[in-house]
């Protein structure tokens, strides 16, 4: 062990070994992995080792596909067998909704280029797994590239390949302290102290403690997970092939063959946390006693699905812990305020996702940005609110319990809620508001006129459809009031503020008293934000964006900070409402004697609104005349009452974000995480129309190369879809004469136009309005047509009027 390394990886499981391998292979030879015991001494040694294609986040599904491809590569590089069993895999559906979801998921895989997947009948499933009962099964999805590996062999293959690329591994050396220095980190271990520029927390069950060594409280917790290995099954002995990896979603079980027996794992509803503050340091190859009473229901379902298990004994029980994040996805990336500290933890499916995590993190550390859009596993998708132990316990437990439970896109889950609430939350709830959650904050979805109304979970249009339609009608014909506490707000000031903003924003900056839409790019020319910049005219600026990107954006801002700039996140202290609709000016003018009616489109200023001093911007995401009114949190309740009273004579109606999503589709307005992501460029998304090419800004070189080259392969278009009772939501494939030419970014019903609409990334030669296409919506192919952008009020007269 040397005293200096460029990077130190803490943790010798599959994820740590993968990170080490990728760093070394990509060119950082001076790297070291530190393991407190020996490689695999944590969750890795007792993992079931399965790998499969399915993931709710298509970007993570793509990284899983990369991991599967990588396994044979590291086997060759290292000379260490990974024990690959490419058996193929099945995911089974036993309810009509689940079967529809599986058909929809199949189309999602087509969108992201995973072609070795197809739907199968119960009879075909039975042929592939003869020991299975297909009672109650409606269908399944088959994937060629699923199976399992030898977990210990795989970790050693990653490690062996890493060493061949120049990396070093030190076992039996626990990390005792982490101390931040001017040049990086001091890593104090049992075998000595190391100076390093970068530290990677890949500590698995010990990730909590390794985070706390750096003053970081990571939202992770271990939970116990059972699987059993049966004695030899005579029916398997008679087969001349290996049965596939099989997931029975309604039965909460997954199975694979283990020699001539079977491994069956269970995601039980009655979950059990273990050592929430981190595993004991001396723990490593131990297991917890099996708890068959707690898993009795799921165990019974498993034995019914696989009757052969009823006739043989259980050879081995495994009840071991894995770490989970609140949403089950990994925590990867740099931690704000801790330069050189990187996370690669909460990877509960390490043998499935470890390769992708290692690749993405190594790219991030070496090149400054991962190739793929990895926000779904970025540690910055959580904020300080997620440090709370009860929040962690509720949400990680909820994820575990619902691992195989059907979750609907319109379903609101209860764990860790309500957490953050706008001041008028109680009054809005009394008015019928139904809530969603964004980064811990309750945000309004719609207002149910009937106190007893309950929305039915569905993959299709829900029974709230007409409620949202009425809210859209109010905005288009009168005036809608929307709580906009769920937007981020950053205040920028200081002598260097304007120069800094001009550098990090690709657009022109607004003049005093004006606002402007502002794309923000990475050095590689990919989007880092679809923001709005306000120039209040007094030396103070605001940046507004998506609430759930607050930590992510703050990390980016701080990493690109200049001297003489003061940046404050005011997203909790400042809240507000938007008024939008043809009567919105009438409402706001009733409450002020200031010249608010003279504000031009995209103008902004400070005004007295009733009793409250507010900052007002004349803009709207609905495509109507509108105002965003920002106030202090203390004024939120009173401001709402004043606006409702002033609007009573003008048809005012409170609305939620479900209506806003419908209205913005009719204007072809994109939103972050759908049309705009860090995986797309300004040219792809049309955001390049806001770029000021006459100035220097972050990402200009890459953006110019795209502009002056052949342009992007795909562009964003608006589609009209002949859907009947469901709407596209995202990642559905777009077809032209049987060839996949794009995918949906988001969709919904345009209530004003009475049409199902979507926005989609489509090949350049299929973007012309009038082009006939087709789209799969909840698994059903529907006719579609490219239409001109902004099908509602294309000239923008209402918005500017």
Tens of pLDDT along 680-719? 999 999 999 999 999 999 999 999 999 999 889 999 999 9
> 70-74, long-range: CB within 8 Å, 24+ apart, which pairs?
70/355, 70/359, 71/149, 71/154, 71/157, 71/355, 74/21, 74/154, 74/157, 74/158, 74/160, 74/161
Q: Quick one: pLDDT at residue 542? A: 98
Mean pLDDT of the chain: 97
Question: Measured in whole angstroms, how far is the alpha carbon of residue 3 from the centre of its chain?
Answer: 38
Tens of pLDDT along 414-461? 999 999 999 999 999 999 999 999 999 999 999 999 999 999 999 999
Q: Quick one: pLDDT at residue 58? A: 76
Question: Which band of pLDDT confidence, cut at 50, 70 and 90, is reported for residue 513?
Answer: very high
Interior/surface letters 643-674, b for 16+ CB within 10 angstroms, e for the rest: bbebbeebbbbbbbbbbbbbbbbbbbbbbbbb
Tens of pLDDT along 575-615? 999 999 999 999 999 999 999 999 999 999 999 999 999 99
Task: Write down how long the chain is.
Answer: 801
Tens of pLDDT along 708-767? 998 899 999 999 999 999 999 999 999 999 999 999 999 999 999 999 999 999 999 999
Q: Which residues pair with 545 in a beta bridge?
A: 488
Q: Quick one: pLDDT at residue 59? A: 78
pTM: 0.96
Question: Which band of pLDDT confidence, cut at 50, 70 and 90, is reported for residue 203?
Answer: very high
Q: Quick one: pLDDT at residue 62? A: 82
Q: Quick one: pLDDT at residue 55? A: 73
CA distances from 304 to 48, 133, 448 (A): 21, 7, 43
Give 456-493 as a DSSP string. Answer: PP-SS--TTHHHHHHHHHHHHHSEEEEE-TTEEEEEEE
Q: How far apart are CA 88 and CA 145, in angstroms?
A: 5
**Residue 134: phi, psi to the nearest 5?**
-100, 15
Q: Quick one: pLDDT at residue 47? A: 97
> What would the mean pLDDT of 203-213 be, rounded to a whole number?
98
Peptide bond into 418 cis (omega under 30): yes
Tens of pLDDT along 317-372? 999 999 999 999 999 999 999 999 999 999 999 999 999 999 999 999 999 999 99
Tens of pLDDT along 540-554? 999 999 999 999 999
Q: Quick one: pLDDT at residue 509? A: 98
């Amino acid at each position: 062990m040397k005293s200096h390394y460029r990077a130190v990886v803490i943790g010798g499981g599959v994820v740590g070994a993968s990170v080490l391998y990728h760093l070394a292979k990509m060119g950082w030879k001076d790297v070291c992995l530190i393991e407190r015991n020996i490689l695999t001494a944590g969750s890795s040694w007792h993992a079931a080792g399965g790998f499969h294609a399915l993931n709710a986040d298509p970007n993570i599904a793509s990284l899983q596909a990369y991991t599967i491809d990588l396994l044979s590569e590291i086997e060759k590089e290292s000379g260490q067998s990974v024990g690959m069993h490419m058996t193929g895999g099945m995911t089974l559906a036993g309810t009509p909704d689940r079967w529809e979801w599986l058909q929809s998921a199949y189309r999602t895989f087509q969108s992201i280029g995973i072609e070795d997947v197809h739907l199968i009948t119960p009879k075909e499933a039975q042929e592939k797994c003869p020991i299975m009962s297909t009672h109650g099964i409606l269908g399944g999805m088959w994937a060629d590239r699923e199976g399992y590996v030898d977990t210990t062999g795989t970790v050693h293959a990653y490690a062996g390949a890493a060493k061949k690329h120049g990396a070093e591994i030190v076992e039996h050396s626990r990390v005792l302290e982490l101390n931040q220095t001017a040049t990086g980190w001091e890593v104090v271990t049992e075998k000595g102290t190391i100076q390093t520029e970068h530290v990677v927390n890949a500590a698995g069950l010990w990730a909590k403690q390794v985070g706390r060594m750096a003053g970081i409280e990571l939202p992770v917790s271990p939970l116990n997970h059972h699987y059993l290995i049966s004695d030899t099954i005579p029916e398997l002995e008679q087969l001349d092939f290996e049965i596939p990896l099989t997931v029975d979603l309604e039965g909460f079980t997954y199975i694979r063959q283990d020699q001539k027996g079977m491994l069956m794992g269970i995601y039980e509803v009655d979950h059990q946390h273990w050592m929430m503050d981190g595993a004991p340091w001396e723990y490593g190859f131990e297991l917890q006693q099996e708890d068959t009473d707690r898993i009795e229901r799921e165990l019974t379902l498993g034995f019914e699905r696989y009757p052969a298990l009823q006739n043989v004994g259980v050879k081995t029980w495994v009840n071991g812990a894995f770490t989970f994040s609140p949403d089950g996805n990994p925590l990867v990336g740099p931690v704000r305020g801790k330069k050189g500290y990187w996370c690669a933890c909460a990877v509960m499916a390490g043998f499935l996702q470890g390769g992708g995590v290692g690749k993405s993190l190594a790219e991030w550390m070496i090149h400054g940005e991962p190739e793929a859009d990895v926000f779904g596993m970025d540690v910055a998708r959580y904020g300080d609110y997620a440090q709370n132990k009860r929040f962690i316990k509720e949400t990680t437990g909820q994820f575990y319990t619902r691992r195989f439970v059907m979750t609907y896109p319109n379903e609101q889950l209860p764990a860790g809620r309500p957490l953050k609430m706008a001041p008028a939350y109680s009054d809005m709830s009394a008015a019928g508001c139904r809530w969603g959650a964004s980064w811990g904050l309750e945000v309004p979805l719609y207002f149910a006129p009937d106190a007893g109304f309950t929305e039915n979970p569905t993959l299709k249009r829900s029974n709230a459809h007409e409620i949202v339609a009425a809210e859209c009608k109010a905005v288009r014909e009168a005036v809608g009031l929307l709580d906009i506490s769920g937007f981020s707000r950053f205040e920028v000031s200081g002598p260097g503020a304007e120069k800094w903003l001009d550098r990090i924003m690709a657009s022109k900056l607004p003049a005093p008293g004006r606002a402007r839409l502002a794309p923000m790019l990475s050095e590689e020319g990919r989007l880092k934000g679809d923001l709005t910049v306000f120039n209040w005219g007094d030396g103070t600026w605001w940046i507004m964006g998506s609430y759930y990107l607050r930590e992510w954006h703050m990390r980016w801002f701080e990493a690109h900070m200049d001297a003489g700039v003061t940046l404050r996140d005011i997203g909790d202290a400042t809240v507000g409402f938007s008024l939008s609709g043809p009567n919105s000016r009438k409402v706001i003018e009733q409450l002020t004697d200031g010249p608010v009616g003279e504000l031009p489109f995209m103008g902004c200023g400070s005004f007295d609104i009733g009793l409250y001093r507010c900052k007002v911007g004349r803009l709207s995401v609905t495509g109507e005349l509108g105002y965003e009114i920002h106030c202090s949190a203390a004024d939120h309740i009173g401001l709402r009452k004043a606006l409702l009273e002033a609007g009573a004579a003008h048809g005012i109606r409170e609305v939620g974000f479900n209506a806003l999503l419908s209205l913005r589709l009719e204007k072809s307005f994109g939103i972050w995480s759908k049309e705009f992501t860090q995986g797309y460029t300004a040219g792809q998304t049309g955001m390049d129309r806001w770029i000021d090419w006459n100035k220097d800004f972050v990402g200009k070189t890459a953006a110019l190369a795209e502009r002056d080259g052949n342009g992007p392969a795909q562009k964003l278009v608006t589609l009209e879809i002949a859907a009947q009772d469901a709407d596209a939501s995202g990642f559905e494939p777009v077809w032209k004469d049987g060839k996949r030419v794009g995918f949906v970014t988001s969709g919904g019903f345009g209530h004003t136009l009475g049409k199902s609409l979507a926005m989609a990334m489509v090949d350049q030669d299929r973007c012309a309005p009038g082009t006939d296409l087709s789209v799969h919506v909840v698994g059903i192919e529907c006719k579609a047509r490219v239409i001109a952008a902004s099908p509602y009020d294309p000239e923008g007269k209402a918005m500017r009027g």
